[in-house]
Chain A
Amino acid sequence: MVNPIYIFITSLGAAFLLNLFQKINRKIADLIFFLTLAVINYISLFWFYQLLQGYEAAKIYTAGFLPPYSINLYLGIEEAVFLVLINLLGFFSAVYLYKKFREISIKAMILYLVLIMGLNGLVMTRDLFNLFVFLEITSITTYALISLEDNKYSLTAGFKFIIAGGLVSTLFLIGTIYLYRLGGSLNLDFLVNSGVLNTKAGILATFLLVFALLIELKPFPANGWALDVYQSVHPGIAAIIASASSAAIFFVIYKFIPLMPSSFLPLLAGIGGVTFVFSNLMGLKQTDARRLLGYSSIAQMGLLLAALALIMQFDNLQSLSSIIVIIGGLFINHFLAKAGLFWLAGIVQKRNIRSWKIIANNPPLLLVFGGFILALIGLPPFPGFWAKWELVMQLSANNMMVWVWIILAGSLLEAVYLFRWFGYAVKNTEVEEIRTEAAQYLPVLIFLLGLLYLGMEGTHLVSGADSIYVLPVLLGVILYVLNWLPNKLKGSLCLLAVIYFSYRLLPALQDIYQLFGVVFLIGSAVLLITTFARKDIFKGFYPLLIIMILSLGNLLQAKTSLQFFLSWEFITITSYLLILRGKFSLKAALIYITFSLAGAYLILAGMGLAFRDTGVVSLAGLASIVNSGYIYVLLGLGFLIKIGIVGFHVWLPGAYTEAEDDFTPFLSAVLSKMGIFGLIMLAILLGEPVLKGIQLNYILGWLGVLTAFFGALLAAFQEDIKKLLAYSSLGQLGYIVLALAIHSHLGWVTSIYLTFTHLLFKGILFVAVAGLLSRVKTRKMYEMGGLINNMPLTFISVLIAIIALSGVPPLSGFGGKWLLYSSLLEKGWYLQAGLAFFASTIAFLYCYRILHSVFLGQPKTALRDVKEPSVWYIVPQYLFLFGIMAISMYPNLILKPVMSAVSTYFASSIYWEDYTVISSLGYWNGNAVMMVTMGVFMIPLLWLLFRIKAVTKVKQFNIVYAAERPDRPETTHYAHNFFAHYQKALGFLARPKVTEFWGNIAEVIHSVGALFRQLYTGNGQTYAIHILIFLLISYFILGVK
C-alpha cells in the first residue's frame, strides 16, 4: 500500500530538486521529471486497481488528527478514476511537450509538475480551505505556463485569465469563510449536515463557493478569457487546461453536490445546457482551429455539467451503471478527444481550419483526427455515443424531453462545425508536409486507441447493446491494416465477407426482414464488383465500405433499439466518410451528414420516448405502446430524412452527385432502402398510428407522392447525369413510400416489389454511369452524345434499365406501376393515384434524355475514341440485367415470396391464376405481356431484316438538313436545356424553394451565432463584468429566500 500522500511528496520533492539537478546535469533533471510523473501514475493506477478489486477507499488524515481537526484526503473509486486520467494525461502531455520544455527552461517543468500535483490535490482533498490552496496552486502555475509561448497573444489571454481567476478566488474565499462561520468547520463532510443551509447567508456562502468553481468551468457567457486562453496558449498546455483542469474542477463540483441545496441543481443544469448550446452556436462561425476547440471544450463541459445536474435530479435512476455510462462516457470522451485534438493542433501548426488540408498528406494523422472528431460528436464506436444514448434514454424516462431536445440541438450544431473542419482537412490540394516527431505523435495515437478501447467496452455497460454490432468496425480495422494488399484482393475479401455474412444472416431472418436482407447484402455484393475497376491507392475505402455493408445487415437483426440505432449511426458515418472521398464533395457531404444526424437525433428522441413508455429498449416492446403517434412521427421523420423525402431532400442530389462514381450506386440502390426498411419496421410495430385525430399514414402517402412528383420534375431539368439520376432515385423512393403508406397487403407488396426493382435498375444505371464517367471526364450530358457505338454493352443495359424504370411493359417496371395503381385505387386514394401517374409520365422526360443525350445523336469529336468501360463495370450491370429480365418474364419469382412475406401481417388481397395476378380491381399477366410483346416486335423486325440488303450505313453528318451540312456536332446535337419549353410551363414548380429555405435557416443560425459572439469583445475588464453579471443573474434566478 502506497500512501497517496506520496503523490504530493514526490512531485513536490522533484519540483524542489529539479532546479538543483539542472545545475548538475540537465539530462538527470529530465529523467527525474519523467520518473516523478511515472511514479504518481503508478500510485494512482495502483489505487485504481486496488479499489476495483473492492479494497477500502484510502482515507488520509494529515498531522495525525481526525477530521474535522485536521485536513484529510479521500481516495475512493471516483477519485481514483479522475486521478488516473489526470496523471495519464499529465504524463503524455509531458512527453508531447518535452521538446518545448527542453528548449525553454527547467522552470517550465517545475511549474508543470506542481500543476499536476495541484490537480491531484483538488480531486482528493476534503477540506474547503485546502481546496482553495490547491485551486490557487493550479491557477498560478497555469498563469505562468501560459507564457510557454511568449507572445503578446498568450500573455494578453493570460492577463484576462488572471483577472477572472482573481475574482473567482475572492468569491471562493468569502464563501469558505462564511461557511466556516456558520457551519463550524472547513471539512466538507462535516459541513454537509451542519445546518448551514438553514440561513440565507449559508445558502449565499454555498452559492459563492459553487459558482466560483463553476466559473472555472467556463460557463456561457462568463468565459471570454477562457476562449482567448485556448486560442493562444501552447496546445500542450491547452490540452491540460481543457481536459485535466476542467476534469478536476468538474470533480470538485461533483464533491460539492451533497452540500448544495436542491434548488441549485436545476440552475446548474440550465447553465450547462445554455453553455452547451450557445458555445456550439458561436463555434459555427469560428475559423481559428484552436479557438474552435475552445468553443467545443466549453460546450462539452457544459453538457457534462448539465448531465450531472440532471442525473442528480432523477427520481428513479435505473442503475448505477447508467450514471457511469453517462457521466463516465461523456467525461472520458471529452477528456481524451479534446486533449488529442489540441495536441493535433500543435502538430499541424495551422491556425485556420481551412489550412488543415495539409493533414491529408499524412494518413495516420488524418485517421486520428477523424477518430477524435467522431468521438467528440458522440458517434459510435466511441464512449460518447453510449453516454448520449443512455442520457437521452434516462432523460426521457424521467420526462425531461425538453432537455433531450436541447442536448440534441447542441450536438447537431457541434457536429456541423466539427464535420466542416474535418471536411477541410480531407480535401487535400497542397503538397506541404507535416513534420511529426514520435514524441508528439505517440500520445495522440495512444489517446485515440484508449478512446476506441473504452468505446468497445461500452457495449458491456449499456443495456441492450451487443458487441456483435461493433464487430464490423473490427473488420474495418483489419482491412485498414491490410491496406498494402492489391485492390482486387481487398475487394474480393470484402466480397467474401459480405457473402459469408449473407449466408449466415439471411436464413436467420424472417419474411420482410429477409427480403430486405437480400436487397442490402446481395445488392451490395453485386455492386462491390464495380470497385474492382479501381486502380488508384485508396486508403480507407474498403474498410468503410465493409463497416457500412455489415451494419446494414445488423440493422435487420437488431433486437433492441440501441442495436438498431448503433448500426444506423455506423451506416451514417461510414457513408458520410465515403461521400467525402469525392473530389468536390465537401459541401455536399456536410449537408448530408447534417441532415443525417438531424434525422438520427429525431430517431434517438423517438426511441427515448418509447423507452419512457415501455421501460425497455427492445424493439418488439414498441408494439405495446398505446399512444404511439409521437413516436411514430419522430422515428418516421428520421427515416424519411434519410430517404430524402420532399422538404428534406436537399442533401440528396449533392451527395449522390459528388460521391465517388462507384459509391453512388450503393447510395441509391442500397442505402436509400434503409429508410424504407425503417418505415416498414415502424409500421409492423406500430401499425397505423393517429396523432391528434390525423391519420399519419395519410400524410405519409401525400409526402410520398409529392416526392415522386418533384423528384421526377427536377430530374427532367438536370444537365448533370448523376444529378439527374439522383433526382430520379428520389422520385422512385417517393413511390415506395406512397405504397408503404397505403398500409394494406397490396400496398406493402407494391412497396417491396418496387424496392427490388429499384435496386436492379438504379444499380444498373449508376454503375453504367460510373463506367461511363471512367471514360468520359464530364458529367454534363450535352457534352457527350453518340456513344452508342463506343460502348454498346453499356447502352443495352442502360436501355433495358430505363425501360424498366419508366414502367413501360413488358419489363418489370410495369408490374410496379400496376401494383401501385391497383393498391391506391383499392385504398381509395384517387388523387394520389392521379398525381403518381402524372409523375410517372414526367419520368419519361428524363428517361429519354439520358439515352438520347449520352448515347444517341451526334458523337463529339473529342469523344470519338472512347472505349467500353472496364469489364468490372459491365459485370454487375449484366447481373442486375439478368435479374430484370427474369422478373419481367416470371414476375411470380419475386411476387410470390413478397406476397407470402407480407401475408404475415395482412390477409392477402390478391390471388394468382397461373401467371395472372388478380387484384380486386384488375389483373395482369406479366408472362403473357412479355410473349405478346416479343411476338409483335418480331414481326416488323423480321420484315425489316428481310429488307436489310437494301440498307446502307451512312456517315455521321449525312442527314437531311435543309441543304446545308452542319459543321460541328456541338451545334447539331440537340441536348442542352432539352426541355426548355417544359421549364417555361412548369419550371416555377422546380425552383429551389426548399433549398433556399434550408439555406436561410442555416444563415439565420450562423448569424445568431455571430451575434452572440460579439459578447467576447476581447477586453479583459469586460470579461470580468461578464463574470459579475453571470453571478448576479444566477443568484437572482435562484431567488434565495
Chain B
Amino acid sequence: MAKRFITLLLIALLAYMFLPFIVEVDETSQLNRVAEKYVTAGPLELGAANLVTAVIVTYRGLDTLGEIVVLFIAAVGIGFLLRKPSKKKIAAPKRSSSEILRTGSDFLIPLLILFGVYIFTHGHLTPGGGFQGGVVLTSAALLFMLSNTEARFNKQLTEVIESVSGIFYLIIGILGLILAGGFLDSRFLQLGEMGRLFSAGAIPIIYSIIGIKVGMELIGILEKLRKEEI
C-alpha cells in the first residue's frame, strides 16, 4: 500500500512537473521557419503533393532509414531472442478456422494487397505511404495466417525480399549522394509533373521499397510469433 501511495505521489509530482507544458505553451498559431519552408518550398523542390511524405522521405530521410532499421532489428532481434524453442511445450488445441473467416479472407486478401500497394505507391500524392502500405500488406498476411492455420510463409523468400529491398534503399540513397545533393536526396530523378504517379523524383520508389520492406519485416515478426509455443 505504502508503495502504491508513494507511486501515486510521484506520479502526481510528475504531473505537476509537466504543468509548464500545459500552462505555458500556447496552441500553435503559425508555422515556424522550418515548417514554413517545407510547406511553401516543398512542392517546388521535391514535387511531392503530400508534404508529410516529402518531409519523411527526403528532408528527414535519415530518420526514415533509421526507422526501417529499427523495424529490421526488431524483427532480427525477436528472431534472435526466440532462437531456442521452448523446453516445455504446451500445445494449444489445434482448430481449423471457421468457414466465414476462410471465405471472407479469400475475398479480402487480394483487395488488401492491392490497397496496400496503392497506399505506398501513392504516398507522395495522398495520405499514407510506405509504412502504412506495409502494414496493410501485413494485415493481408495476418488474415491469411488466421484463415489457414497450417500454411506457412516461405521464410526464405520474405527474408530475401527484405534484404534486397533494404539494399535497394541504400543504393537509392547513394545515388542521391552521387547524382544529387546528398545521401537520400530524392531529386536525382526528374521531378515530373506534380500529381502524377511518376513524379516527385525518387520518392515513390523509396516509398515502395519501404512498403515492401516493412511488409516483409512485419510478416517475419508475425511468423516468428505465430509458431511460438509457450
Contacts and interface: CB of A to CB of B under 8 A. Distances in A.
Main secondary structure of the interface of B (DSSP, over half): helix
Interface in B60-83: 60-63, 65-67, 69-70, 72-74, 76-81, 83
Contact of A64 (B14, B167, B170, B180): B180
A1029 B3 CA distance: 13
A68 B177 CA distance: 19
Interface in B107-162: 156, 159-160, 162
A137 B181 contact: no
B88 interface: no
A199 interface: yes
B170 A61 contact: no
A70 interface: yes
Interface string A128-160: 011001101100110111010010000000000
A1032 B13 contact: yes
A111 B170 contact: no
Contact of B182 (A15, A63, A145, A1035): A63
Contacts of B32: 184-185
Interface residues of A, number: 65
Contacts of A3: 177, 183
Nearest to A16: B166
B21 A144 contact: no
Nearest to B160: A20
Contact of A201 (B11, B25, B77, B163): B25
Given A16-B163, A114-B73, A1028-B10, A62 B184 contact: yes
A5 B73 contact: no
Contact of B69 (A108, A137, A185): A137
Question: Taking chain A's interface residues, is the majority helix, strand, or loop, or is none over half, making it mixed?
Answer: helix
Contact of A19 (B33, B67, B163, B184): B163
Given A17-B163, A200-B24, A104 B181 contact: no
Contact of B10 (A12, A64, A133, A1025): A1025
Contacts of B162: 16
A110 interface: yes
A8 B80 CA distance: 22
Contacts of A61: 181-182
A71 B63 contact: yes
Contacts of B7: 1025
A60 B77 CA distance: 30
Q: Indicate the member of B6, B32, B176 with the most A CB atoms within 10 Å.
A: B32
A62 B183 contact: yes
Nearest to B7: A1025
B17 interface: yes
A144 B76 contact: yes
A71 B62 contact: yes
Interface string B24-59: 110010001110011000000100000000000011
B20 interface: yes
A107 B76 contact: yes
A845 interface: no
Interface in A1-56: 3, 5, 8-9, 12-13, 15-17, 19-20, 23
A63 B10 CA distance: 44
B46 to A, nearest CB: 9
A205 B83 CA distance: 40
Contacts, number: 187
Pick from B20, B25, B76, B181 the residue with the most CB of A within 10 Å: B76
Contacts of B94: none
A982 interface: no
B215 interface: no
A65 B59 contact: yes
Nearest to B42: A69
B186 interface: yes
B211 interface: no
Contacts of A467: none
Interface in A69-116: 69-71, 104-105, 107-108, 110-111, 114
A1028 B182 CA distance: 41
B174 interface: yes
B27 to A, nearest CB: 10
B170 to A, nearest CB: 5
A133 B63 contact: yes
Contacts of B77: 107, 111, 140-141, 143-144
B89 interface: no
A204 interface: yes
A64 B80 contact: no
Contacts of B65: 8, 12
Given A65-B59, A201-B21, A12 B76 contact: no
A15 B66 CA distance: 13
A185 B33 contact: yes
Contacts of B38: 69
Contacts of A1029: 10
Contacts of B76: 19, 107, 110-111, 144
B26 to A, nearest CB: 10
A792 to B, nearest CB: 76
A738 B181 CA distance: 80
Contact of A1032 (B14, B33, B173, B176): B14
Given A19-B163, A63-B185, A144 B81 contact: yes
Given A62-B183, A137-B66, A19 B159 contact: yes
B14 A1028 contact: yes
Contacts of A137: 66, 69-70, 73
A70 B182 contact: yes
A141 B72 CA distance: 10
B185 A111 contact: no
Contacts of B6: 1025
A178 interface: yes
Given A130-B62, A137-B73, A64 B21 contact: no
A957 B172 CA distance: 105
A63 B61 contact: yes
9 contacts: A9-B170, A19-B163, A63-B184, A65-B182, A107-B83, A127-B60, A127-B63, A136-B66, A185-B34
Q: Which A-B residue pairs are the 8 nearest by beta carbons?
A: A64-B181, A144-B77, A184-B32, A16-B166, A133-B66, A64-B185, A64-B182, A107-B80
Interface of B: 3, 6-7, 10-11, 13-14, 17-18, 20-21, 23-25, 28, 32-34, 37-38, 45, 58-63, 65-67, 69-70, 72-74, 76-81, 83-84, 156, 159-160, 162-164, 166-167, 170, 173-174, 176-177, 180-187
Given A70-B58, A121-B66, A133-B66, 15 more contacts: A12-B170, A13-B167, A17-B163, A20-B163, A62-B61, A62-B62, A63-B60, A69-B34, A71-B62, A71-B63, A125-B62, A140-B74, A201-B24, A1032-B10, A1035-B17
